[in-house]
Amino acid sequence: MTRTTTWTPTSGTGVWSLLGAAAAEAVSHGSPGWIGLDAQHGFYDDRSVRDTLHAVTGVDVLVRVRSLDAGEIGRALDAGARGVVIPMIESAEAAARAASAVRYPPAGSRSWGPFAPYWGRAEVGVEQANRQVVCGVMVETRLGLDNVEEIAATPGVDMIFVGPYDLALSLGVALDDLVAGGKGELRSVVSACRANNVIPGVYAGSPARARQLAGTGFEVVAARSDRDLLIDGVATLG
């Protein structure tokens, strides 16, 4: 058993936010199960992550950081993120570094410095913070998939979050074929997660794909992005 987080989203269905603080704040009024801020491929930088986490309340927010960088991970958590999603994890060693970066000593190496006091919010103590935080690591390459059992077995890893677009590119297969079942690649991720009490998560991007992936066993699914929800809404105007 590697999961240590107490996190259970109100719903596994979340919204992926690319557009920035105003969009994420608007999305939060729809009460999704969680919101993911994309600081890797979206318009989020350090300041807009802070602005979003200051503005959004009542919804758990995860931040996909740009890389396995302890300073960047700490900044997102200091600003109030419930957890982080760290891209391109390909080994148990990298997963262990991720797990350490999200937790304070003695469980990890995170530096103390939450923003809560600056915003007039209650400060969360070390033990509670270590229990609540979510360490999500992304498996999105052939090497990561080959090592998924070792990654899932790494102490302190709470969630394996699949990036299916990059994984399909790495495997040289069509995205729709991978999502539909492929050679069982995604089921192998779910199996590794279940064997180690780790949350299986995935980016879907559309409601139809989200249903497919939930059927495969993924429990935390980014069903749609704020950009696409905006396009969907405008299309309904006729």
DSSP characters for 33-83? S-EEEETTTSS--HHHHHHHHHH--SS-EEEE-SSS-HHHHHHHHHTT-SE
**Tens of pLDDT, residues 161-175:** 999 999 999 999 999
How many CB atoms are closer than 10 A to CB 69?
12
Burial code (b: 16+ CB inside 10 Å, e: under 16) for 182-193 equals beebbeebbbbb
Whether 205 and 231 have beta carbons less than 8 Å apart is answered as: no
**Tens of pLDDT, residues 4-31:** 899 998 899 999 999 999 999 999 999 9
**Tens of pLDDT, residues 112-159:** 999 988 888 888 999 999 999 999 999 999 999 999 999 999 999 999
Q: Is the pLDDT of residue 87 over 80?
A: yes
> 103: closest CA among 156, 158, 39?
156
What average pLDDT does the chain have? 96
**Does residue 41 carry a catalytic annotation?**
yes
Backbone angles phi, psi at 61, to 5 degrees: -120, 130
Quote the percentage of the chain above a pLDDT of 70. Answer: 100
Q: Which of the following is catalytic: 41, 47, 121, 211?
A: 41
Q: What pLDDT does residue 70 have?
A: 98
Q: Is the pLDDT of residue 1 over 70?
A: no
Whether 95 and 89 have beta carbons less than 8 Å apart is answered as: yes
> What is the C-alpha separation between 44 and 22, in angstroms, rounded?
11
